[in-house]
Structure 1
């Protein structure tokens, strides 16, 4: 009975996050399908831009992840005055970061796209689109911090509603602005960039309304707190470590993409289609990983490390079941799913082959996310950073180079390297989780 109650609590928290992440993933998928009619060069443009923006997001995502676990701990310990001080400082940091991202987009978009090593045609087609993506990210990084706060207090439902609204709007605007529908101008791939920019801007407006208006009565969110150096240092340090963790993975994926681009635009398009489809596996992985952070963090706040450990285990079990079902669907219907993205047989047949290869291997990416979420909940951020840095840059990158550039195994070599890396990372984080001495785990305090 106690087990069923724990699983019910996990699902009540995880399903809204799952729907939110699903909407984000579906938005990217639908957008890619819509721009697919513009040709495989445009597919490659969007794919490469996605990787670039993933890197930008990863560098600063630590702000939202830090808010998430610190607020979860403070919420569990009934110390939300401290949680609000931390949230206010994190919000100011994220706004400053957003401004810096917008400036970088204005002056560096063309150079960054050129550094990917893509063809001259791809660079010319995607220059302004990438600039618009930078502006959208400037808004998105601030919204992510607020979503981190909402999840930290266990309000995954509100976070889901905001995400769904913003992403549905992005899909509609992408269709209208790409192809000139509903009286909107026909802007091609740049229209997709404007759609993301408008959607992210409106999402931030709604997030700020929820934070400053809806949550004010409960948490005094409009109260100004004077920054405390120790707390500010804690947030910057933890954000830096979690950002480095995500960035090491994202930059290795960027290098992975550069290697794939050497195989030609067609291989790049098939790779992007495959990554888009496999991102449906990332969806439950992220959702249940976020749930693990919430439950573990709140249990640590209540000084109940045994419940915290069990929460992480139960979350990993349920999340793995979701991934097994999803992997079966991808394995059986790989070809028709890939054909939704492109009617070019060379593209969809290669993409389907890559999908079948990795259908069940994505369980290891799930293990990484589930147990990393649990480790974030206890503040074990140093290990996460080190494991990610070492395996991403000193294992994944050399392995991809070996399989693609030396052994000349083409796209399949790239994907074998990717999932070998994810398997190693998932197992490493899982072992760390169960080797942790939970009896000595304490709340994260400034100066620790």
Structure 2
């Protein structure tokens, strides 16, 4: 058991550090922009929502590469893993061109759709355009990270992520405020910093895959496009991407509902969600680990070991979240006051929401742990169906009823959130343990219909 847990931690901790670096740099970047005024904060907030949903739609490519490569690597069929990564690269490059075009031609139109003021659209159009360019590069890099995690090299993925985010932090400060001899570009300097960071990550990812790993895996090969094989990548990417988008857009609707309660309620909600994100990071890291370990064991035709690996990830991840939840429960008010110590309604409401989520965030863990394990099994259709059902038949309707019909305000919002997380998390758990493990096989080119 101890050896199994050690293997889980070796894979999970670098992934956790990668996600922590991304979250921390995003927070610092927002603080830097925050000193430029309320309009700039609003622009960044709106653009971040657009970027988050855009990333979710196309993230399925990386998730698909992650689980397919894990299965191939477990089966010691690295040639198929490389072939599938090339096909995913072709698809990612097509997506990147699409995102470049959207950013160049439609940034102002998209900002207008958000209902923002004329000033927000005018000042934010170029900022959004640059962010689209950065997203395009980031989607290609993220696909390569899927390969790295698939072969179990979460350490290299972590190093690339940290380097990219350190670049963003340095140039965000230098270009926003004109430090170290760089021009003072204000808000657009922040966008250029993200673009530089993503470009750095893109170049490093290319180097690692095509040069560093060429000696070990012979990655420099010519791979022709075969429609049957490409179809598998496209369909699996679509299902996993739509699953992520369904969740991200439902959270956007949830935020819109809370915003109608007033500025203070929205502020308290955002503080609590930000604190909750520190539980989401390890949950997602352990979920990614489940994909790797389960996928590799499925590739080795060891389904019972795959089942055990998924359980080990769940146990360790749950312990981590319970310890974190205990800390949040005890120090909820102190944590809330770190964000806002001048408005009693904001920090007291935020503290209450943090206490509600302290142990209930375990269901968010179940969602991520078992979603990762089910990806490793290739259960992508089930993941999509359950995401659509629970988000649009449970989460969003229940949030509306509890917030506006029952008049429960922020408390009703969070009851709906954790009801949803409990339903989907337990559904994923049930599917994982009730699957016919004797019949589970690695995904091949004929099994995607």
TM-score range, shorter-chain basis? over 0.9
Contact 1:69 1:379 in 2 (8 A): yes
Task: Confirm whether residue 104 of structure 1 aligns to residue 97 of structure 2.
Answer: no
CA distance in structure 2 between the partners assigned to 1:35 and 1:349 by the alignment: 27
SS at match of 1:171: helix
Q: What residue number does 2:364 align with? A: 365
Q: What residue number does 1:356 align with? A: 355
Q: What residue number does 1:446 align with? A: 445
Pairs aligned (count): 446
Identify the range of structure 1 (403-412 vs 160-169) with the bigger mean alpha-carbon deviation: 403-412
Q: Which runs of 5+ in 1 are unaligned?
A: none
Q: What residue number does 2:164 align with? A: 166
Q: In the TM superposition, what whole-angstrom CA distance separates every residue of 1:271-327 from its partner, at most 9, and x where no partner exists?
A: 333323221111111111000000001001111011000000000110111111222
Contact 1:44 1:268 in 2 (8 A): no
CA 1:272–1:144 in structure 2 vs 1: closer, same or farther (change >3 Å)?
Answer: same
CA distance in structure 1 between the partners assigned to 2:214 and 2:408 by the alignment: 57
SS at match of 2:272: helix
CA distance in structure 2 between the partners assigned to 1:400 and 1:308 by the alignment: 36
Q: Which runs of 5+ in 2 are unaligned?
A: none
CA distance in structure 1 between the partners assigned to 2:122 and 2:198 by the alignment: 25
- How much has 1:135 moved relative to structure 2? 1.6
Q: What residue number does 1:235 align with? A: 233
Q: What residue number does 1:419 align with? A: 418
Q: What residue number does 1:284 align with? A: 282
Q: What residue number does 1:332 align with? A: 330
Contact 1:118 1:261 in 2 (8 A): no
Q: What residue number does 2:177 align with? A: 179
Q: What residue number does 1:73 align with? A: 71
CA distance in structure 2 between the partners assigned to 1:267 and 1:122 by the alignment: 23
Q: What residue number does 2:245 align with? A: 247
- How much has 1:201 moved relative to structure 2? 1.2
Contact 1:67 1:152 in 2 (8 A): yes
- How much has 1:222 moved relative to structure 2? 1.4
SS at match of 1:444: coil
Pairing 1:145-164 to 2, within 5 Å after superposition: 145-164=143-162
Task: Confirm whether residue 143 of structure 1 aligns to residue 141 of structure 2.
Answer: yes
CA 1:291–1:393 in structure 2 vs 1: closer, same or farther (change >3 Å)?
Answer: same
Contact 1:166 1:203 in 2 (8 A): yes
Q: What residue number does 2:387 align with? A: 388
Identify the range of structure 1 (159-168 vs 49-58) with the bigger mean alpha-carbon deviation: 49-58
TM-score (norm 2): 0.93
Q: What residue number does 1:310 align with? A: 308
TM-score (norm 1): 0.93
- How much has 1:443 moved relative to structure 2? 1.1
CA 1:340–1:36 in structure 2 vs 1: closer, same or farther (change >3 Å)?
Answer: farther
